[in-house]
Amino acid sequence: MTPTPKTRPARTLRRLALAAVAALALPASAAVMNAWQLNVYRDGSSADWLLGNSRLLGDGFDNGNPLLGPAFSTTGQAATYALFGLADPAQAALAAYEAGSALRLDPHYGAMAPGATGQVGRSLRLQLLTNVTDPALGLSQSRSFSASLRLGLSDLPGVGQAFGLRLTDGFSDASDVIDLYVAGTATGPLLTFRKQDFVHGSITTFGTTPLSAPAGAGALVLSLTHGTAGSNTISASYAYADGNGALITAFSGLSDGATATAFNGEAHTRIELRAAELVSTVPEPGAWALFAAGLAGLGWRARRRG
């Protein structure tokens, strides 16, 4: 059946409406997370870890397989990762891959999901699979440990995106999800240290600071640390490194030594590398007003043609 002149504008309006809603849901800008190195330390202190001692794992993301890492220093077994948050039917090989001695995580392939307070976004997570039952293994509350992630400064997140490191007990009740990440904002990259509690629907931010890379910096190093065995506190710090990974600044905290609490009902935690982007599934009132005004104008023109 050939559409009548009256049905063509209606179909055009429907197409425009769908296109406009899709456009309003897109992030403001898009980038891909570029991670150069993950180091995990266990036992000892920050002084030991700065010297490279007590390293449990050092993954340079250079074997071509993002789900397989080098051997753990204590067991000799190869480290493995699991990819979470992949949108269906996206291909894992496009979302997480290794190239040029770096891990690439593309949040565009993440599934839509709400945060602890209901804000919707895409979140792609690569979780290091460590033991969560044996106190002598994994990242247990009974032992000191630290994880540091080196991110390339040439691939910072776009506005509405966040790249970083987290500790999570998501294998159980997900009440302790502690994030340290750099976020893209309208005023520039912002480092943030926070805790999400998905059980109680809350987010607590412990500190933020704008990125201010010194001359010669090629990478940002993020670190989450359980510095005292048996405690329930996690601290966050950051430093800058040159293009070869050598530190060119000391580690600094984000806000007067603020710490997060973990191990609430849990004895272990796990490390995740995370790339996320916000999605405005419910556009701002101003965006809806412009959208409605445009549709009203198109409707008036359609009626005139009819």
The arithmetic mean of pLDDT across residues 246-267, rounded, is 89
What are the helix and strand counts (H, E) for the chain?
4, 19
Distance CA 1, CA 8 (A): 12
Mean pLDDT, the chain, integer: 84
CB 265 within 8 A of CB 197: no
| All domains in the chain, ordered by first residue | 28-278 (2.60.120)
Q: Tell me the pTM.
A: 0.82
Residue 305, pLDDT > 50, answer no
Distance CA 2, CA 11 (A): 13
Which segment, 13-22, 237-246, 272-281, 283-292, is predicted with the most confidence on average? 237-246
The pLDDT of residue 303 is 44
Total residues belonging to the chain: 306
